[in-house]
Amino acid sequence: MKGLLAKLRMVHFVLPSLFERIRKFASCAGPGRCNVCDSKSATLFLNRLPAALYRCEECGLIFFSPLPSKKVLEDFYSSEEGYLPSIRETLDVYKTHYTARAARYENFMDRILKQAPGSKSVLDVGCGYGLFLLYCREKGFDTWGIEISKQTSAWAREQQLDVFTGSVHEAPFDNNYFDIVTSFHCLEHALDPQAELLKMASFCRKGGILLVAVPNAFSFAAEYSFASWPWNSWPNHLYYFSPRNLKIVLAKTGFEVLEIYSQAGDSDVNIDTGILGRILKLDAEERDEVLKLLYELNKGQELVVLARRRG
Ligand SMILES: [Zn+2]
């Protein structure tokens, strides 16, 4: 009996602590393969809890390791303490600054239609409240969306938008159907961005257009201070792309890159303006000149890429 009790004690007290040590050791041992280029050579970029940031030595992808569990992400995207307050701001911005938002959407659409005139159908992956889809519908496009958050996708459906609640992998849409697939600030949230892009490629018709916008890890603000960069954010932003590795992953997932450029982000606050004002003490005219130069050098906050689905 004594022996049995000792064994039970070991199972209940010793093993969990042993597993905890193994888990810690595994996470200290470094990250796995790079999601873009499959390289195993990543070095510690920024050490922070609960996960460290690593930078791939081959392609420069910056990523968290270990990644959060699906359960952590489910809680994050559905709780009032997590994702919802921040995304609610985008709805407020849309309502109060509709003209600026519409100008932003119009710019994206102009670029897409230049590459693929006559496009009719749009699928927005990670559509949030469906604000881009509302704009597209107003312009006469046929619109569909995919959104992980139950609350925001429900709001989109109240606007009579056809939005599926769930992941891109669960969405019941036809392959090779859509003329245009868009994804605004979504890819960096995915546990496996390469798989996400492959799925987007399958939804896009051959010759169709993909437009992806992500935070720019190569931006002036990110390079100035990644630790205090507002888009360095756990557990929602798990990967940080630069023009180089975004091109690599698009080529691997069936796309031909047509255009890649940077611009100010999608929030009302231009982070670059704040940093430039603080460190260089520029007047408004000088600051605008510097911002223009930053965007030309692909150093803006947001990275946008247009790509064509290869035939
Ligand atoms: Zn890599």
End-to-end, the C-alpha distance of the chain in Å comes to 71
- State the angle between helix axes of 98-115 and 131-138 in degrees (0 to 180), rounded to the nearest 10: 70
Q: How many domains does the chain have?
A: 1
Tell me the per-residue pLDDT of 52-104, one tens digit each, with 9 for 90 and over: 999 999 999 999 999 999 898 988 888 877 778 777 877 877 777 778 788 99
Give the distance (Å) from ligand 1 centre to CA of residue 60.
6
Long-range Cβ contacts of 75-84 (<8 Å, 24+ apart):
76/235, 76/236, 77/148, 77/149, 78/149, 78/150, 78/151, 83/149, 83/236, 84/149, 84/151, 84/152
Give the distance (Å) from ligand 1 centre to CA of residue 218.
15
DSSP-derived pairing of the beta strands 302-309 and 204-215? antiparallel
Tell me the per-residue pLDDT of 185-239, one tens digit each, with 9 for 90 and over: 999 999 999 999 999 999 999 999 999 999 999 998 898 888 888 888 889 999 9
Tell me the per-residue pLDDT of 151-196, one tens digit each, with 9 for 90 and over: 999 999 999 999 999 999 999 999 999 999 999 999 999 999 999 9
Instruction: Give me the residues near ligand 1 (ion), CB cutoff below 5 Å.
Output: 34, 36-37, 39, 56, 58-59, 61
| Residue range of the domain that includes 239 | 2-309
- The DSSP bridge partners found for residue 209 are 180, 308
Taking a C-beta distance cutoff of 8 angstroms, is the pair 54, 62 a contact? yes
CB under 8 Å to 254, separation ≥6 — which residues? 198, 201, 309, 310
- The CATH number for 173's domain is 3.40.50.150
What pLDDT shows up at residue 246? 98
State whether residue 190 is helix, strand or coil.
coil
Distance of CA 268 to the CA centre of its chain: 18
